[in-house]
Amino acid sequence: MFTKHQSIEGILKEPGMKPYLEVFFQKWLLELFPEEFVRAPLGLAEQRGKTPWGEPLSVIGDQLLDGANLCGELLRKERRALLLWDENKGDWSPETERRADSGVRPGKEGVFLVTPSVRGRRDEGTETAGKTEEGLSDRELRPAAIVCPGGGYGQVCFEGEGTPVLSMLEEAGYRTFLLRYETNAPYPEPQMDLALGILYLRSHWKEYGIHPGQLIAVGASAGGHLCALEAAEHEKQKDLVLSRLSGEERRTLGEWGARPDGLCLSYPVISFEEETHEDSARILTGGRRELRAGLSVNRLAGPDYPPSFIWACRDDDCVPCSNGERMARALEEAGAIVELHIYPSGGHGCGLAYTKEAWPWSGRMLKFMERYVLGKES
C-alpha cells in the first residue's frame, strides 16, 4: 500500500503502474507537483506546495494515493475491472483496451466495473461462498453502490469523484463498484452501461455478498445526469441492454430490474434546455438539439422515481445549482422522495469537499440512504 512516505517517482516506477494510473489520475494533475518534489516524499510536497487555484497540494496528493492504491490492487488481482460487455466478463487492462481482437463489442472496450477489494472482504469476516440463497441472511449481505464520476460525457474523472467516493462508501459499509462508462458517445450508450452494471450486480448478488434490493447509484456532474436519466428510463434501458445480449446471459439478467434503489446526485447536470452544461448536452445528443427536451431529466420525474439525495454549491460556475433545484422541485411535485442541499460555496467538481463548506454532504447522504433505502430509522 502506498503512503505519503513514498515519492511520485517511486510510485510511477512500480511495475505496470504508469499506464493504469493514467486512467485513474489525469496526467495534468501530476504536472501540478513542482519538479523538486517529484523525488521527495509525497507528504513533503503536500505540506509545501499549493495548486494554481490556492488549495494545498494535500488534496491532490490524497487523490493520487487513492488512485495509485486502487491501481495496485488491480495489478495484484485484489480487485477486478470487469469488462461489462464481454460475455465472459474478462479483466480490463490498458492493453486489452487497445487490442482490436479483444472480443468486446466495438466502442465498449473501455467500459468496465471495478469490483470491491478481495482483501476487504476477508477482513470483514463475511463468508458467503458455498452457501445456498436460503442460507444467506440479511446480516451477511451488504448494501451496494455504483459510483459514476463526471467528466462532461467526454471523459471519466476518477480522481476527484471516483476513488475518494469509493473509499468513503466502503468505509461506510457499502460494497462499492466503480463504473467507467463509454464517453464521447451519444445517448443511450452511457445509460446502457449503467443499466448493464446494475443488472449484472443484482444477478451476481450472492457472489459479491450484496443485498439486491439495496443498490444505490452515486453520480457527480455528468455522472449525475447519467444516473438520473437511467433511473427514469430503467425499463427502456434494460430492454436496450437485453437486445444486445444473447443466450444464458440474456436470460439471467432479464430476471432482474435496472432501477437503482436510491440515488445520490452531486452537483448534477439535469436540464439540457436551461442553464445546462453545454459540452454534456452536445456530446450526449450528438449535436441534435431536438433531443434536448427528452433528455432533460426534470421532465421525467414520477412518483416511482428512486429516493434521491441531491446537493450542489451556490457558487458553481460550471453546472449551475439550479439544475439540482429544478430536479428536486420536479420530484417533490411528482410525490417522490427527495432531499436537497445547496451549500454556499464549494464550486464544481469538489468531490468529498473536505476543504469546502459542502463537506457535510456525505454524512447527510448516508443518513438519507439508511432511512429510505436500508430501512433504518434516523
Pairing of strands 112-114, 81-83: antiparallel
C-alpha cell at 98: 487497445
**Domains of the chain listed by start with CATH number:** 8-75 (no CATH), 81-126+136-372 (3.40.50.1820)
CB-based contacts of 258, cutoff 8 Å, min separation 6: 195, 198, 199, 230, 234, 235, 237, 238, 241
pLDDT for 377: 61
What would the grid cell of residue 162 be?
Answer: 471516483
What are the beta bridge partners of residue 180? Answer: 112
Closest CA relative to residue 328, chosen from 234, 257, 224 = 224
Residues β-bridged to residue 78: none
| Cis bond upstream, residue 188 (ω within 30) | yes
Quick one: pLDDT at residue 132? 42
- Report the alpha-carbon distance of residue 231 to residue 259 in Å, rounded: 5
Question: Any alpha helices (H) in the chain, and if so which ranges?
Answer: 8-12, 17-24, 27-30, 42-48, 58-75, 94-98, 118-124, 158-161, 163-171, 189-203, 205-208, 222-232, 234-243, 247-253, 278-285, 322-334, 361-372
Residue 349, C-beta contacts closer than 8 angstroms, at least 6 positions apart: 150, 157, 160, 161, 220, 221, 267, 318
Distance, C-alpha 205 to centroid of its chain: 19
d(CA 289, CA 207): 43
Tell me the CA distances in angstroms from 376 to 58, 258, 362, 364, 369, one per residue in order.
36, 23, 17, 14, 9
**C-beta separation of 175 from 209 below 8 A:** yes
* Cβ atoms 323, 269 nearer than 8 A: yes
How far is Cα 242 from Cα 224, in angstroms, rounded to an integer? 24
Q: Quick one: pLDDT at residue 351?
A: 95
Query: SS3 breakdown of the chain: % helix, strand, coil, rounded to 5?
Result: 45, 15, 45
Q: Quick one: pLDDT at residue 100?
A: 67
d(CA 111, CA 90): 12
Which residues in the chain show pLDDT less than 50? 122-123, 125-134, 378
CB proximity list for 38: less than 8 A, separation 6 or greater: 7, 8, 9
Q: Give me 171's grid cell.
A: 468505509
**CA max distance for the chain:** 59
Q: Collect all residues with Cβ–Cβ distance below 8 Å to 322 and sequence separation of at least 6.
A: 274, 275
